[in-house]
Structure 1
Amino acid sequence: MNKPENLRAYLLGAIPTLRDTPNGLLLSVEDGQVRCTSAPSLSFEYRYTLRLTLAGYSGHPDTVIVPLLAWVRMQQSELLVNLSPEAQRIAFQVGSLDGDTVDLTVSLPLSERVVVARQDDGTPLITHAAEPAYEPYQSPTDVQVIAEGDVLLEWRSADTGDAMALAMPHPKPRRP
């Protein structure tokens, strides 16, 4: 599993108070599962809950949650876009130590896809699949609806600000 260490490095780089006390950042994997199908390959998916605990944290929780959400946007984006009540969510707990520090625990339901391909000599080649990338929406453009050479509708598309969309690559044709 790669995401726990990736998140640790990201948060240590993003939160100055954690850089001074990196031992206060504790990570544990809970409720782990391996999901696979009976497909010809041995590819599979890790599913688990990552518990992130900041022991004796003296900063405001916002200073953790904002960079955490930025990481989630890149590494587990479906946690941000699924609005159904049954969807997995980012959970947290705050335990008070004293008036100056808290124990902040965040639970993240994560998954990682692992691709196992057979090399020519039959040995397995294991790679961790990258998460889907985001790209900016297109800039505002003029849109026209034309039928039989006549312009039926015309408008300028909206400016989306800093919104992002998942990159949707076209499928590659299979070669025989």
Structure 2
Amino acid sequence: MYKPSSLKQYLISSVKELQRSPDRVLVFMDEGNVVCSSAPGLSFEYRYTLTLIITDYAGHPDAVFIPLLAWVGEHQRELLDNHEQRQQAISFNAEVLANDLVDIEISLPLTERVIVKSQAGGELNVSHPPEPQLEPFLPAGTYRLQTESGYLLAEWESRPPFDAYGTTTDD
């Protein structure tokens, strides 16, 4: 599964406050299922709830949630596009600690396709294709999130969209 580590690294590299102490970002996968059809082959889909916990966070919550939404727009787009799902798909809890620190727990349902293809000689080839992107959630480029006074909260890259075959639409 690549999405849990992808999201963790994305937030650590994007959010200035998390770069100082990346070990405060914890990721768990809960309520997981493996879903396959009766079609021939061994391809399947992982379905699970990703729980992301940020401990002792002193930054502004926007600095976490805006890059998180950008990541979701690329890696689990239907959570934003589907009216029913976006109402409650991304949930959070927060515990206010002493000295203006907060523990934030974010939960979101994720899926990952696993394609297994038979090769000559009985070998199996496994791949994890990216989510298809019909149009970019954000145009490709660098994004900087700042306060009105110019303080940098977060910075991240948006990539060109992928098609159903895992190639960028710029190819």
TM range (shorter): 0.7 to 0.9
Deviation at residue 122 of structure 1 after TM alignment: 1.6
- Matched residue SS, 1:126: strand
Deviation at residue 84 of structure 1 after TM alignment: 2.0
Partner of 1:109: 109
% same residue: 45
Deviation at residue 128 of structure 1 after TM alignment: 0.4
Structure 1 letter corresponding to 2:74: M
Partner of 2:38: 38
Q: Deviations over 1:116-164 (max 9, x none)?
A: 0001112111100111124369xxxxxxxxxxxxxxxxxxxxxxxxxxx
Pairs aligned (count): 141
Give runs of aligned pairs for residues 23-102 of structure 1, distance below 5 A: 23-84=23-84, 89-102=89-102
> Do 1:118 and 1:125's aligned partners in 2 also have CA atoms closer than 8 Å?
yes
Task: Describe the shift of the 1:52–1:36 C-alpha distance in structure 2 as closer, same or farther (beyond 3 A).
Answer: same
Which structure has more relative contact order (CA 8 Å, sep 6+)? It is 2
What TM-score do the two structures reach when normalised by structure 2?
0.76
Deviation at residue 23 of structure 1 after TM alignment: 0.8
- Matched residue SS, 1:17: helix
Task: Describe the shift of the 1:77–1:58 C-alpha distance in structure 2 as closer, same or farther (beyond 3 A).
Answer: same
Give runs of aligned pairs for residues 100-139 of structure 1, distance below 5 A: 100-135=100-135
Deviation at residue 85 of structure 1 after TM alignment: 6.6
Partner of 1:21: 21
Aligned-residue CA RMSD (Å): 2.1
Question: In structure 2, how many angstroms separate the alpha carbons of the residues matched to 1:23 and 1:168?
Answer: 34
Question: In structure 2, how many angstroms separate the alpha carbons of the residues matched to 1:25 and 1:121?
Answer: 43
Unmatched 5+ residue regions in structure 1?
138-165, 170-176
- Matched residue SS, 1:37: coil
Structure 2 letter corresponding to 1:110: L
What TM-score do the two structures reach when normalised by structure 1?
0.74
> Do 1:92 and 1:107's aligned partners in 2 also have CA atoms closer than 8 Å?
yes
Name whichever structure is richer in helix by fraction. Answer: 2
